[in-house]
Amino acid sequence: MSALTCTLVADGSSDRVLIPLLEMLLDEHCPGPYRSPHFVDLPAGLPLIERIKAALDLYPCDLLFVHRDAEKASLAFRVDEIRNALTDAGSVPTSIAIVPVRMTESWLLVDAPAIRTAAGNPSGKVALDLPSLARIESLPDPKQVLFDALRTASELPPGRLRKFNPEEKRHRVTDLMNSLDRLRRLPSFQHLEHQIQQHFTA
């Protein structure tokens, strides 16, 4: 059996954090071997349909993931946007929409131990003031909440904290997650997993 090939059309360079989450989902639901998704980050100003076409030119695949943050729109609106772009793109492989609400960083807020380890202080005990799961998808700026949590988790003194780069540390959080249990309580992640399950059970 040949390995399933996958491509991820990103919304920005920081969306590399989605790759470990997709691998965990594929580990669970893909019945055969697969290759880690190719990550395609194209200029943000490029229309979604053009990004989809360019990604498939670069990395033809069996399964295409298309990511768009919900931002101020609803999950349904962004899913429709992706579906319309896929229809207009013409002949495309099976495609799955990834729409975190409001942005990818919201999904990283579910795992305090991963945040502490990414910040370089896995044994830290300071309170991170992370939002409850019920509040995560209503946060106006989950990126700022995540960056604040990473700074707090580092427990660095002020002088060293000024040199601390939460944007860089963000990329380690999903690498350090070892369970999807809490993510599965977020509706936007449930939507992603449901699409993957449907693909492999159809």
How far is the C-alpha of 176 from the C-alpha of 1, rounded, in Å?
A: 30
- Going by the DSSP 8-state scheme, the letter that residue 130 receives in this structure is P
How far is the C-alpha of 173 from the C-alpha of 195, rounded, in Å?
A: 24
User: Residue 52: how many CB atoms within 10 A of its CB?
Assistant: 25
For residue 1, being part of any structural domain is answered with no
**Model-wide pTM > 0.85:** yes
Give percent above pLDDT 70 in the chain. 100
Convert the pLDDT of each residue in 21-39 to its tens digit.
999 999 999 999 999 999 9
Residues 56 and 113 in one domain: no
- Buried-exposed string 94-132: b where 16+ CB fall within 10 A, e elsewhere: ebbbbbbbbbbbbbbbbbeebbbbbbebeebeeebebbe
Residues 36 and 58 in one domain: yes
Residues 67 and 38 in one domain: yes
- Which amino acid, 96? I
Overall domain count for the chain? 2
Tell me the pLDDT band of 183, cut-offs 50, 70 and 90. very high
